[in-house]
Chain A
């Protein structure tokens, strides 16, 4: 059981000092979680710390690959509205 950081990570360093297992490390092109060390914070915190401070929707996945912060959950922007706005910008 381990969480995973994926390509949308912006390397903001917020998660790294919070990890109770020191499983998170700086890497290129983005931070990574050592699957052997990650405990999903079990026994340490009620919420997984990296996913709880991460500001980027979709950047951290759970053990089965589901985003812990799905689209719209952190910014409050409804995904449909976001898609609409991006389509409008592309059209210009």
Chain B
């Protein structure tokens, strides 16, 4: 691991330049992608923090079988990671899935993307998966199709994938080293045998890499998902990032391990912990010098419906869908109009947003470069600060620095601080949970905030700020950053950063 020092030095450098997404519209990880790729993904809700407030996606659960075992997954309850938590997924036949997709497309015209993500591995269920894709590309050509896979069966499926309307494939790649792999995958099913340990992991890794290369050759976009497992693959994922970028993956999504004993997974039962928000961010930053990093994945379910972070699945159960009459030609016309209006709104917003809000050099006054600051933001979307602190179910985290504002990720809060009824007695403990979730943030920007949480946040070293309501997020973050700079708060590094730097 000593060698990593050199790598870190290399990856530090681009952070101040454009390649780490710290110039222009830094909210958007897509801003520095080549134009042709951006065209393909700009209306994909999963690929842009901005787009996901406007466009919706859905998953259909047609693929129950799996060909490998992962230590973060319990097949009895579906998978806790990899976009498939939950026990209630209603398994659909391809016909039902097509019906459901068209019903959702007609009723939620913002829905642009249909994904198949499980609850097993879509490519371990090729008949069901491809029957769904085949029928949809015929009947609903205005819906983008995507699929996610563990990669084991990918090389055999590439030609079939290329035939349909599929321009994104997600491969979950947690390692490129069989020794690491053996600690994540206890077995794979391969050539009619169950193969355990390093031998199985080696085959899986080879298949993933081969599949990635074959997709890139055919011009199909590849996103790589990795589950960050502290002590298992956290160091290793930088190498994974470097290799998949080199082979042509366009985006890397490092997600935190979800492991609780009640999930009954190997990691959950054995007490393997997930990463802290600060550890996840540090790894994403370390990878970002080499790779476009995805920062706003909500790890949604295999049967999710709607905008990211919301689930309207219960409106579209099979019994409700059977009763719907769908005129898809009419729906397509309506959808085209809705999409055009959203594009217009997004374009207007992009034109309006201030080019950059970098700290002016004269303000630095010959002082050494001020340290960056993390800030939490309460927003319901639209790129502005427009949510009451007590109504936020999640906070976006931005980093303000001398280079500008950049989107870092999101932090979910378990319970609303204010649920609007008589449960305020629990407010204190709920607030404790929110403060823990905001670990590392020095300010929280919201439209409004009550007196009580204000005090407790301040005590915890997080400065509440309600002065920038309805302002664009990046502008507000940089305004607060400049204030902190003027007050001399940014000269000295934080105590724990100092400790880390000398460690």
Contact = CB atoms under 8 A, between A and B. Distances in A.
Contact of B192 (A45, A82, A85): A45
A89 interface: yes
Given A52-B193, A53-B194, A10 B269 contact: no
Contact of B186 (A14, A53, A75, A85): A75
A82 B269 contact: yes
A56 B75 contact: yes
A12 B120 contact: yes
A89 B261 contact: yes
B189 interface: yes
B75 A76 contact: no
A89 B228 CA distance: 25
The size bracket of the interface on A is 20 to 34
A56 B264 CA distance: 12
Contacts of B164: none
B75 A12 contact: yes
A42 interface: no
Contact of A52 (B75, B120, B127, B194): B194
A11 interface: yes
Contacts of A10: 75-76
Given A53-B189, A53-B194, A55-B75, A12 B64 contact: yes
B266 A77 contact: yes
Nearest to A74: B69
B262 interface: yes
Nearest to A20: B192
A81 interface: yes
Is chain A's binding surface mostly helix, strand, loop or mixed?
loop
Interface residues of B, number: 27
A28 B69 CA distance: 25
B124 interface: yes
A82 B187 CA distance: 19
Contacts of B124: 14
Contact of B266 (A14, A75, A88): A75
B437 interface: no
B66 A49 contact: no
Given A74-B187, A76-B266, 17 more contacts: A10-B75, A12-B64, A13-B65, A18-B192, A45-B192, A46-B192, A46-B193, A47-B192, A52-B189, A53-B65, A53-B194, A55-B69, A74-B69, A76-B71, A77-B269, A85-B269, A89-B262
Interface of B: 64-67, 69, 71, 74-76, 91, 120, 124-125, 127, 186-187, 189, 192-194, 261-262, 265-266, 268-270
14 contacts: A10-B76, A12-B120, A13-B64, A14-B65, A18-B192, A46-B192, A52-B193, A52-B194, A55-B66, A56-B75, A74-B186, A77-B270, A82-B269, A88-B261
Interface of A: 10-14, 17-18, 45-47, 49, 52-53, 55-56, 74-77, 81-82, 85, 88-89
